[in-house]
Amino acid sequence: MSPMRAPVTVRRDDLPTAVTIWEVGARDGLQNESTVIDTATKIEFIDRLAACGLTIVEATSFVRPDRIPQLADAAEVMAGITRVPGVRYPVLVPNERGLDNAVVSGVGEIAVFASATDTFAQRNLGRPMAEQMAMFTPTISRARELGLPVRGYVSMCFGDPWEGAVDPGQVIAVVGDLMAAGCTEVSLGDTIGVATAGQVTALLAGLVASGVPIDIIGVHFHDTYGQALANTLSALGSGVTIVDSSAGGLGGCPYAESATGNLATEDLVWMLDGLGIDTGVDLGALIDTSAWMAGKLGRPPVSRVVQALAARI
C-alpha cells in the first residue's frame, strides 16, 4: 500500500488563509553541522529552496569564522546565489562589522540574535542579558538608516537548559527592547524545544497585550519533544502568520547542546496544505531538495514527510 502524496484539505475558519514560511535551513540548519559544507553545495541548496516557491530563504550569517566556521564563506555564498525576483535572502549579523560585510555583499535585510535568559546570553553573546542591547542597538540603527528591515530573534523564550522555565515577562521585555531599537519583526525561539501549546498561546497573548502587533511576530520551534507542529498550530490560532522552519528538519543550536532539529519545512507544509492555508510552496520539489541535501550530508532527513515520500515523489 503506497502512502498518500498529498493531505486531504479541510479549512478551519479560525486560522489564517496564508502563512509566510521563513526558511532557515541554509543558515540555522547548516551552522550546526559537525563538518563544513562546501560553498558550491550551499549555493545550490539556496537556489533549489528558492525554486520550490519559498519567498524567504535565510542564506547565511556574517559572523567570525572562529565562532561559526560552517558559515565562514558568507560573502562567497551571497556572491554565488541566483537572486530570484520576489525572494528575500536575509542574513544574520552579530554586530556592526558583520553588518558592514553584509552590506558589501548586497544584502537586503538582516537579523540580530538576542536572548531571553542571562545564561544563554553569556554563552552565545559573551555578555549578560542586561547588556545585549548595547551590542545590538548600533547595528539595528545603522541598518534602518540604510533602509534595511531588521528581524530580531529571541532565543530561549519558553525554557532554558540552565535556568529552567522562562518568565514570559523576560521575553516581553526583550521583544520591547528590540522593537524600540528599530526591529521590524521578531521571532520567538523555542531553542530547546520544550514549549507546549498552552505556553505559546499565553506568551502571544502577553505580547499583544503589551502592544506588539501580532503580524510582526514569527515563531521558531524546535522539535526536541515532538511538539513543534502542535505549537505552530497554537500560534496560528493566535493570529501568527510567520513561521520559521528548516528544510528536512536540519539544525539545532551550537551553544545549547540539548537543542535538536528545527521544525521541518515539509512537515509544516503538509499540515498547512491540509488546513487549506496557502504557502506557495511546491511540496514535491521541496522534498526532492531535502532528500538531495540529506545525500550530501550522508544521513537520512529528520522530516517525517520526507521519509514517507522522498522515494515516491
- Supply the residues annotated as catalytic: 253
Q: Which helix (H) or strand (E) holds 92?
A: strand 91-92
Across the strands, what pairs with 278?
18
Pairing mode, strands 110-115 and 150-155: parallel
Residue type at position 122: Q
The Cα 288–Cα 73 span in angstroms is 25
Cβ neighbourhood burial of 48 (10 Å; 0-12, 13-18, 19+): buried
Inter-residue contact 244 to 92 (CB < 8 Å): no
Inter-residue contact 218 to 188 (CB < 8 Å): yes
Q: Which helix (H) or strand (E) holds 160?
A: strand 159-160
- For 4-16, the DSSP string reads PSSPPP---TTS-
Task: Copy the grid coordinates of residue 14.
Answer: 479560525
Task: Copy the grid coordinates of residue 297.
Answer: 550530508
